[in-house]
């Protein structure tokens, strides 16, 4: 389990919309650009790490009850994505690191994998 | 309780709006969140299939005290071999659909995993009808 504040510190990430309580705990992490794969996950309280920045990333997370999304490689969430995320109670974060580097750091911090 | 939603083929910016509305209704009805997730994941997959493959479609949702029945009917190319389409990894999706994060041949198997009953009827060149039934208890 890790805190949102750790993600911001270690990955130099920023919250771009959603809940700004840095003390929130996150249990699991899953990294994918394939939304079909994301839709197969059963874990709760999960951080999705992805480079896919379109509306379906947010829709998929809404359907899968995913509360946190981290966009890597400097991918930016559009205003439409932010609006949909706000409506769905999803916190969006952005960082410049690659997916591999972000996952490696998150794993070292203690974020649990799904499988 | 019955609801009907139109689905526009090819328009990914609206894909998921029908499923999102169904989720809001199920939340208001205090359905168990784990069951809501199973239902909305399966109908979202089916909705995305209409957007990805068909020209147009509609989602009809009937909620009973003990079950929810969702029928998604589309006008489109249809499925030539349903058994093949049910296999993980088989897909006829376009590159545009894959760019949106779908089209990996995982949709129909995931729908099956998340529903109590799944019935598919399809006529090539006409369209496809998918019925998903989930029991609420």
- Please, which pLDDT band fits residue B114 given cuts at 50, 70 and 90? very high
Nearest to A93 by CA among A37, A10, A1, A34: A10
Q: In this complex, do A64 and B12 lie within 8 Å of one another by their Cβ atoms?
A: no
**Which residues on B lie below 8 Å from A48 (Cβ)?**
none
Host domain of residue A34: 2-113
**3-class secondary-structure state, position B43:** helix
Q: Indicate if the pLDDT at residue A82 is higher than 90.
A: yes
CATH assignment of the domain containing A96: 3.40.1390.20
Residues of B in contact with A88 (CB under 8 A): 20
pLDDT tens digits for range B64-110: 999 999 999 999 999 999 999 988 888 888 888 898 888 888 889 99
Of A39, A80, A88, the CB nearest to B110: A39
Q: Rg (Cα) of chain B, in Å, rounded?
A: 14
Q: Which helix (H) or strand (E) holds A38?
A: helix A35-38
d(CA B85, CA B75): 18
Q: Domain total for chain A? A: 1
Measured between alpha carbons, how far is A33 from A98 in angstroms, rounded to an integer? 13
Strand runs labelled E in A1-115: 2-3, 14-17, 25-26, 28-31, 46-50, 68-71, 91-94, 112-113
pLDDT tens column, A2-23: 999 999 999 999 999 998 888 8
Q: Which domains does chain B have, with CATH numbers?
A: 2-135 (3.30.565.10)
User: Would you call A36 and B19 a contact, using CB atoms and an 8 Å cutoff?
Assistant: no
Residues 103-132, chain B: which have Cβ within 8 Å of A?
Answer: 103-107, 110, 113
């Amino acid at each position: 389990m890790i805190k949102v504040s750790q993600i911001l510190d270690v990955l130099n990430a920023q919250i771009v919309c959603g809940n700004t309580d840095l003390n929130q705990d996150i249990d699991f992490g899953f990294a994918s650009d394939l939304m079909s794969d994301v839709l197969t996950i059963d874990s709760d309280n999960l951080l999705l790490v992805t480079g896919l920045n379109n509306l379906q990333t947010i829709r998929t997370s809404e359907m899968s009850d995913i509360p946190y999304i981290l966009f890597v490689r400097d991918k930016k969430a559009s205003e439409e994505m932010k609006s949909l995320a706000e409506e769905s109670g999803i916190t969006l974060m952005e960082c410049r690191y690659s997916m591999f580097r972000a996952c490696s750091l998150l794993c070292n911090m203690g974020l649990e994998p799904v499988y | 309780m019955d609801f009907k939603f139109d689905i526009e083929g090819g328009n990914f910016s609206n894909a998921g709006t029908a499923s999102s509305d169904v989720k809001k209704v199920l939340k208001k009805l205090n359905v168990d969140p784990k069951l809501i997730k199973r239902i909305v994941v399966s109908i979202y997959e089916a909705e995305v299939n209409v957007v990805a493959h068909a020209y147009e479609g509609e989602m009809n949702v009937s909620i009973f005290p003990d079950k929810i029945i969702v029928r998604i009917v589309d006008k489109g190319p249809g499925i030539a071999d349903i058994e093949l389409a049910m296999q993980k990894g088989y897909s006829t999706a376009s590159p545009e659909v894959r760019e949106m994060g779908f089209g990996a041949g995982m949709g129909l198997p995931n729908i099956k995993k998340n529903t109590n009953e799944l019935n598919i009827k399809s006529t090539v060149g006409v369209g496809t009808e998918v019925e998903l039934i989930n029991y609420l208890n």
